[in-house]
Amino acid sequence: MTLNVGVIGVGMIGQDHIRRLTQVLSGARVVAVTDVDLNRAKAVAGELAGARIHENGQDLIGDDDVDAVIVASWGPTHEEYVLACIAAGKQVFCEKPLATTREACERILDAETKAGRRLVMVGFMRRYDDGYRAMKDTIARGDIGAPLMFHSAHRNATVPGHYVSDMIVNDTCVHDVDIARFLLDTEIVAARVVKPRRNSNAADHLTDPLFLLFETADGAIVDVEASINIQFGYDIRGEVVGESGTVELAESAAVLVKRAGGYAGRIPEDWRERFVRAYDRELQEWVDAATAGRSTGPSSWDGYAATVVCDSALAALRSGERVEVSLREQPELYR
Amino acid sequence: MTLNVGVIGVGMIGQDHIRRLTQVLSGARVVAVTDVDLNRAKAVAGELAGARIHENGQDLIGDDDVDAVIVASWGPTHEEYVLACIAAGKQVFCEKPLATTREACERILDAETKAGRRLVMVGFMRRYDDGYRAMKDTIARGDIGAPLMFHSAHRNATVPGHYVSDMIVNDTCVHDVDIARFLLDTEIVAARVVKPRRNSNAADHLTDPLFLLFETADGAIVDVEASINIQFGYDIRGEVVGESGTVELAESAAVLVKRAGGYAGRIPEDWRERFVRAYDRELQEWVDAATAGRSTGPSSWDGYAATVVCDSALAALRSGERVEVSLREQPELYR
Amino acid sequence: MTLNVGVIGVGMIGQDHIRRLTQVLSGARVVAVTDVDLNRAKAVAGELAGARIHENGQDLIGDDDVDAVIVASWGPTHEEYVLACIAAGKQVFCEKPLATTREACERILDAETKAGRRLVMVGFMRRYDDGYRAMKDTIARGDIGAPLMFHSAHRNATVPGHYVSDMIVNDTCVHDVDIARFLLDTEIVAARVVKPRRNSNAADHLTDPLFLLFETADGAIVDVEASINIQFGYDIRGEVVGESGTVELAESAAVLVKRAGGYAGRIPEDWRERFVRAYDRELQEWVDAATAGRSTGPSSWDGYAATVVCDSALAALRSGERVEVSLREQPELYR
Amino acid sequence: MTLNVGVIGVGMIGQDHIRRLTQVLSGARVVAVTDVDLNRAKAVAGELAGARIHENGQDLIGDDDVDAVIVASWGPTHEEYVLACIAAGKQVFCEKPLATTREACERILDAETKAGRRLVMVGFMRRYDDGYRAMKDTIARGDIGAPLMFHSAHRNATVPGHYVSDMIVNDTCVHDVDIARFLLDTEIVAARVVKPRRNSNAADHLTDPLFLLFETADGAIVDVEASINIQFGYDIRGEVVGESGTVELAESAAVLVKRAGGYAGRIPEDWRERFVRAYDRELQEWVDAATAGRSTGPSSWDGYAATVVCDSALAALRSGERVEVSLREQPELYR
């Protein structure tokens, strides 16, 4: 009952998922890989006993030995591969984004809805983090009353050279958007973006930091500080304010050290360190579900909503105005 | 070298200052009191050995035995008494607000400027809090780089029955406005206000919570969550985000208790508990300065700026739009 | 390259290791089980596709399909099975204790030394905990100077009905003994035990709490508070005091909740919750090492030292006196 | 109703109390000073408007203008001055120790008992600290059940050059002894002292650190880590372990700073910073009580018990054995 997984795209994140499946998790093996760079695919396959190399994603998806697929290729290719998986009736784990345009996401919703069952899980790994799960449980238990606000801060020490300005919304804040939807269990209906004074550590072409302000369907407010060159570490903060209490992420340091006039705890270096367990759980849960023929986790609808909200935030950033978010009606399948 | 203080207004806050001067602090005594309710003035004076009762504030200010004056009467009366103190050349500690309108504040600025020396201190006690002082010191040392954002949360367990809607800005958030100006050392130039979903614990006539968003002259952003019926306690949070670090208020609990599945620290019940030391220090510093014939602390300019910013925030709340804050040019005296 | 594991003893801990190998970890499968209660063995095997049931541990160890063995049976049986594994040249993961007497441990040391290579890993899972690892790293980096003291607290909410008095040393504090040796990288040479006032929540036959005081070969002090009926949760505290600093375990709560006058974090319910990741890592590391034909983790020597120190602590508890710990000379194999 | 205070001994601590009375607290003035170094007395008096200089403590105590006395001279002189104050019927605040020998303390007990009313308060300022008070309140409310153990740590960054070895017990740990008696509300009946490995930062003549272990009359255990050259700051830790919970001092940092890979809070530099408020409250409470003709705070009995316990601890340090503490029967006056 081992799940045979094919991996499309074996760059950094694809290789990390392969490592996870082969060295960390239970119940899966990687039987096929492909990549836009076939040499890279060959190099990765060489490390895996008996993994086949495919010329392209379509061939990999069509391989009868492949039970389920991980899509970790370049964003603009996601739509094609996810649609092919749906057509083939194979469970697919698609790294964010589900697709890069609203229209592409909608085509996926249509295809999956037509297929009549969920086949797609989107890689919003924060939903598998101990902290956010405990926040959601706290809200669900009614410990803080109905949620009214969510304050989120997304702080990166630095960003790589290829990082461009839209990525602060599409790649960085998309996680805050998804986790806000998850925690508050409602849709985002409007976005505003304010540009604070620039961080002089940021590259000239980047607008950093940003302050995003969202409204949800039930009137709650979500504010997101995005600071992508804050130097000191990868610092993810979150607090939900309810009618009679609040719940916030605790610091994650395992030890406190006293020396030189103070006590101190470590802040993670990057997202790998901060969310390592969330990534592990996310993929294990997908493997378990796919093996059992079930769907789980963030759906195509979640991927679609995140893309549309980010589009609206980018429009708000450009116009300086409040921009409404319009989602199509949610299909029965995702309720 | 004991400072002879006269107190105008002996309601709750006036009585608290009298208690402080007579039982807690050093170097002052209360020699005269007055109140709109003369019976209350008599009752309070009865507790004080040898304190005179005046018919009104003007008489008290004119009393030759009174070295310095505390104005703790109803807000709309502040202008008159502060102007009289300036005219008499007596140091005056005026509870917030300095005055209730921009024009009244400007008349005070004019009078004090004409007098050629600072005689007015406004009661923004947060500037004397250990936490905010350490935040300011941290910024001044350059430990977090240039400040880009200030996140503030002002949470009251409940508000009294006489609390009306404008007070959430004028009486509550005015403290966040002042401390933002103090921490960031710049003026606020624009205000926006967003209304999250209502807290069902709030009285029907109150708009609670509010989310205020300010811009400063140098482009920093200040966001303020005001939650005035949050039930669980008086919770004052603040974090300044700089280019390379952040500084935030620590929790103030003196002990942690482990029992029944968790560890817990106390949150203050109200502003008296949270800021007791700040009030003590504020008034001691005023007594020491007044005794030495010096001025200290938040100035008329600070009181003026706070009033104008709050006016703009109220306009923003009503219009739903961004409202610019326009201050007159700052007189030399306050630089 | 999947490791075929046989499990001797399928009670609670044995079943938990089977769950871990089959549902959580990578690279192993359970091919054989046995138990003193054969019906229990059959029930467990029934859940495992293709696992063989053996009449006894010796048969299981002799099974050619079994690559490596987990010993999770009753303590007094450990010696026999570990010796058989050594004789068969198979890697064995032995739950603590390595053996229940000093002499039995020494027979294992002799056998393994004679075999000329390490085949035994003892289940001291705390060495795989993030917190203790960070403590050890902090010491190793010299951040707190040379370690002088280690304060440890081992607090259980309650203990099961079959718990008898010696278990507070042999089953509970043995973890503190091992982690002290691990953190301080030295041997314990003397023990004293003090009996505080009894906890009235403890069953009549239990001496609870205890306060243990150890000395190490290099003169450091280790004190252990053992409270086994403290009601509120499973609370593991540890702090190493060095010449110029300290390092302590941080609280492990993932979120802080503010409500009803305070802020609070969760304390784990039991050792499963607190050390779940340590158990996972411990066994994954053993699987990886066994697959590669390497040894890893706490050795027979560590198991031996822990048993001898606990024996001395029990003698100290009975006599009320300081009792010296005498270890045989450490064989080359374990240095 | 200002209290006229005479101060015997105007070294560092005496001058600090004078500063407190004249610049910080309410209701007292310093009208007379004396010192073994009369020039120092003159210098200090020169700063005080109208303070008289006395040749010696006896003259100061006999001065009719002196309502109450602070004894802040060298320890061996305390007995004489305290006895003279009792004879004169004047309230006396005596810095610790009450007296340097058991016999001297007993003569004070005898004199005060004969006087039939409490006149002596001993300067154990920790009893006025927010943290210890909250610990005591928590225990009194029954929140943690009956107390079974108290873990205390007393860490000094460094000690001055004149510090000799007995002072680690008599001057440093005496505070832990007193606060243990205060928190647990019982007497200490036995002492043991263990010497960990030496801190290489300590001067050659100092035994640092020490680990002290006390037993109380009701069977609770008190352990005290004394580290007097720990470099990093003045770190006072305390935790009371009860039958169903614990209560511990929280860290005292006012802000947390995130920078350079971590978050950090300040640890106080020395006892002045850590206990500034406790000193203020202690003396204000004495002034208020003395003005009202009442007694308050730590009594002669508390000073006596602390001295006897420290004597026993020193004997235990020298012998390496458990030493019993024997107190005389407590006079009615102190119950």
Q: Answer whether residue C241 shows pLDDT above 90.
A: yes
Judge whether A145 lies within some domain: yes
Chain C CB contacts of A257 below 8 Å: 138, 143-144, 245-247
Distance from CA of A230 to the nearest CA of D (A): 9
Chain C CB contacts of B225 below 8 Å: none
Identify the pLDDT of residue D86. Answer: 98
Per-residue pLDDT of D196-214, as tens digits, reads 999 999 999 999 999 999 9
- For range C188-192, the mean pLDDT: 98
Nearest residue, CB atoms, B255 vs list D22, D248, D288: D248
Same domain, D225 and D267: yes
Looking at the DSSP bridge assignments, the partners of residue D224 are D152, D212
Distance from CA of C96 to the nearest CA of B (A): 28
Reply yes or no: is the peptide bond before residue D97 cis, omega within 30 of 0. yes
Mean pLDDT, rounded, of chain B: 97
A232 lies within 8 A of chain D by CB: yes
Chain D CB contacts of C218 below 8 Å: 197
CA distances from D332 to A149, D87, D121 (A): 60, 20, 17
Same domain, C147 and C287: no
Q: Answer whether residue C199 shows pLDDT above 80.
A: yes
Domain closes at, from A124, A159, A176: A124
Distance CA C118, CA D293 (A): 78
Chain C CB contacts of B248 below 8 Å: none
Chain D CB contacts of B138 below 8 Å: 255, 257
> Are residues D237 and D247 in contact, defined by beta-carbon separation less than 8 angstroms?
no
Instruction: Classify strands D120-122 and D210-216 as parallel, antiparallel or unpaired.
Output: unpaired
Nearest residue, CB atoms, D263 vs list A258, A259, A267: A267
C255 lies within 8 A of chain B by CB: no
* 3-state secondary structure at position C170: helix
Structure tokens at B1: 């070298």
Contacting residues for C222 by C-beta, under 8 A, at least 6 apart = C149, C150, C152, C176, C180, C184, C188, C212, C213, C214, C215, C216
Identify the pLDDT of residue D331. Answer: 97
State the CATH number of the domain containing residue A265. 3.30.360.10
Residue B231: closest C-alpha in chain C? C260
Structure tokens at A179: 């986790």
Contacting residues for C25 by C-beta, under 8 A, at least 6 apart = A24, A25, A26, C280, C283, C284, C287
Q: What is the CA radius of gyration of chain C?
A: 20
Contacting residues for B144 by C-beta, under 8 A, at least 6 apart = B138, B240, B241, B242, B243, B244, B245, B246, B247, D257, D258, D259
Task: Work out the angle between the directed axes of helices A12-19 and A271-291 (0-180°, nearest 10).
Answer: 60
- For range D55-75, the mean pLDDT: 97
**Residue-range definition of the domain harbouring residue A63:** 3-124
- For range D255-269, the mean pLDDT: 97
Same domain, A88 and A149: no
Alpha helices in C265-334, H assignment, sequence order:
271-291, 300-319
> With an 8 Å Cβ cutoff, are C253 and B262 in contact?
yes
Nearest residue, CB atoms, D262 vs list A231, A261, A265: A265
> With an 8 Å Cβ cutoff, are D246 and B258 in contact?
yes
Write phi, then psi, for C59 (nearest 5 degrees). Answer: -65, -45
All chains having 3 or more CB pairs closer than 8 angstroms to chain D = A, B, C
Contacting residues for B128 by C-beta, under 8 A, at least 6 apart = B277, B278, B279, B281, B282, B285
Q: In what order do the strands lie in the sheet with C91-94?
A: C52-53, C28-34, C3-8, C68-71, C91-94, C120-122
Chain CA centroid to CA A3, Å: 23
Distance from CA of B155 to the nearest CA of C (A): 11
Identify the pLDDT of residue C213. Answer: 98
Distance from CA of A130 to the nearest CA of C (A): 6
Identify the pLDDT of residue D50. Answer: 84
Give C237-240's long-range contacts (Cβ < 8 A, gap of 24+). Answer: C237/C151, C237/C152, C237/C153, C237/C155, C238/C131, C238/C132, C238/C135, C238/C150, C238/C151, C238/C152, C238/C153, C238/C179, C238/C183, C239/C150, C239/C151, C240/C135, C240/C138, C240/C139, C240/C144, C240/C147, C240/C149, C240/C150, C240/C183, C240/C184
Residue A233: closest C-alpha in chain D? D261
Chain CA centroid to CA C8, Å: 17
Same domain, B155 and B110: no
The helix (run of H) or strand (run of E) holding residue C40 is helix C38-46
The percentage of chain C sitting over the pLDDT mark of 90, rounded to a whole number, equals: 98
Same domain, D198 and D327: yes
User: Where on the phi/psi map is residue A246: left (φ > 0), alpha (ψ -120 to 50), or beta?
Assistant: beta
Domain closes at, from A124, A139, A168: A124
DSSP structure class, residue C330: P
Residue D244: closest C-alpha in chain C? C230
CA dihedral B134, B139, B143, B145 (to 10 degrees): 160
A-contacting residues of B 176-195, CB under 8 Å? 194
Provide the residue count of chain C.
335
> With an 8 Å Cβ cutoff, are A231 and B245 in contact?
yes
Structure tokens at D211: 């680990």
Determine the number of helices (DSSP H) and then strands (DSSP E) in chain B. 10, 15
Nearest residue, CB atoms, D263 vs list A258, A264, A269: A264
- Tokens 């007044």 -> residue: B290
Distance CA C35, CA C30 (A): 14
Nearest residue, CB atoms, D255 vs list B21, B25, B248: B248
Residue D22: closest C-alpha in chain B? B26
How many Cβ pairs within 8 Å bridge chains C and D?
A: 107
Same domain, D269 and D286: no
CA distances from D269 to A260, C246, D158, D235, D236 (A): 10, 16, 10, 8, 11
> With an 8 Å Cβ cutoff, are B257 and D266 in contact?
no
User: Where on the phi/psi map is residue C293: left (φ > 0), alpha (ψ -120 to 50), or beta?
Assistant: left
| Farthest-apart Cα atoms in chain B, separation | 64
D-contacting residues of B 12-51, CB under 8 Å? 21-27, 49
Pick from C244, C256, C267 the residue to mutate for testing the D interface (most D CBs within 10 Å): C244
Distance from CA of D267 to the nearest CA of B (A): 13
Chain B CB contacts of C261 below 8 Å: 232-233, 266-267, 269
Nearest alpha-carbon partner for D61 in D41, D80, D36, D39: D80
Structure tokens at A297: 């986790």
Residue A231: closest C-alpha in chain D? D260
Structure tokens at A60: 């990999």
Same domain, C204 and C328: yes
* Dihedral (CA of C317, C320, C322, C324) sign: negative
A241 lies within 8 A of chain B by CB: yes
Distance CA B98, CA B88 (A): 18
B141 lies within 8 A of chain D by CB: no
Q: Letter for the amino acid at D17?
A: H
Nearest residue, CB atoms, A148 vs list B153, B199, B223: B199
CA distances from B127 to B123, B251, B255 (A): 9, 18, 25
A255 lies within 8 A of chain C by CB: yes
Distance from CA of C83 to the nearest CA of D (A): 39
Nearest residue, CB atoms, D149 vs list C196, C231, C235: C196
Write phi, then psi, for C65 (nearest 5 degrees). Answer: -80, -15
Q: How confident is the model at residue B145 (pLDDT cuts 50, 70, 90)?
A: very high
What is the full per-residue pLDDT of chain A (335 aa) written as tens digits?
A: 799 999 999 999 999 999 999 999 999 999 999 999 999 999 999 999 889 999 999 999 999 999 999 999 999 999 999 999 999 999 999 999 999 999 999 999 999 999 999 999 999 999 999 999 999 999 999 999 999 999 999 999 999 999 998 999 999 999 999 999 999 999 999 999 999 999 999 999 999 999 999 999 999 999 999 999 999 999 999 999 999 999 999 999 999 999 999 999 999 999 999 999 999 999 999 999 999 999 999 999 999 999 999 999 999 999 999 999 999 999 999 99
Distance CA D300, CA D126 (A): 16
Same domain, C72 and C187: no
Same domain, C261 and C133: yes
Distance CA A67, CA C142 (A): 51
> With an 8 Å Cβ cutoff, are C256 and A247 in contact?
yes
Chain C CB contacts of A250 below 8 Å: 251, 253-256, 265
Number of domains in chain B: 2
> Are residues A154 and A212 in contact, defined by beta-carbon separation less than 8 angstroms?
no
Q: Letter for the amino acid at C261?
A: G
Per-residue pLDDT of C73-116, as tens digits, reads 999 999 999 999 999 999 999 999 999 999 999 999 999 999 99
Q: How confident is the model at residue D117 (pLDDT cuts 50, 70, 90)?
A: very high
Q: How confident is the model at residue C179 (pLDDT cuts 50, 70, 90)?
A: very high
Q: How many CB atoms lie within 10 A of CB D288?
A: 17
Judge whether A171 lies within some domain: yes
Same domain, D38 and D87: yes
Distance CA A199, CA B241 (A): 10
> With an 8 Å Cβ cutoff, are A213 and B201 in contact?
no
Identify the pLDDT of residue C1. Answer: 74
Nearest residue, CB atoms, C259 vs list B232, B263, B265: B232
- For range B23-33, the mean pLDDT: 96
How many Cβ pairs within 8 Å bridge chains A and C?
A: 99
User: Where on the phi/psi map is residue B22: left (φ > 0), alpha (ψ -120 to 50), or beta?
Assistant: alpha
Chain A CB contacts of C253 below 8 Å: 250
Contacting residues for D117 by C-beta, under 8 A, at least 6 apart = D295, D333
Distance from CA of A153 to the nearest CA of D (A): 14
Same domain, C239 and C104: no
Same domain, A142 and A168: yes
Chain C CB contacts of D225 below 8 Å: 149, 151, 241
Nearest residue, CB atoms, A244 vs list B201, B220, B241: B201
Q: Answer whether residue B1 shows pLDDT above 80.
A: no
Nearest residue, CB atoms, D254 vs list B21, B22, B250: B250
A307 burial (CB, 10 Å; 0-12 / 13-18 / 19+) is: buried
CA distances from D178 to A32, B182, C250 (A): 72, 42, 29
Pick from B257, B274, B275, B276 the residue to mutate for testing the D interface (most D CBs within 10 Å): B257
Identify the pLDDT of residue D1. Answer: 74
State the CATH number of the domain containing residue A51. 3.40.50.720
Per-residue pLDDT of C56-73, as tens digits, reads 999 999 999 999 999 999
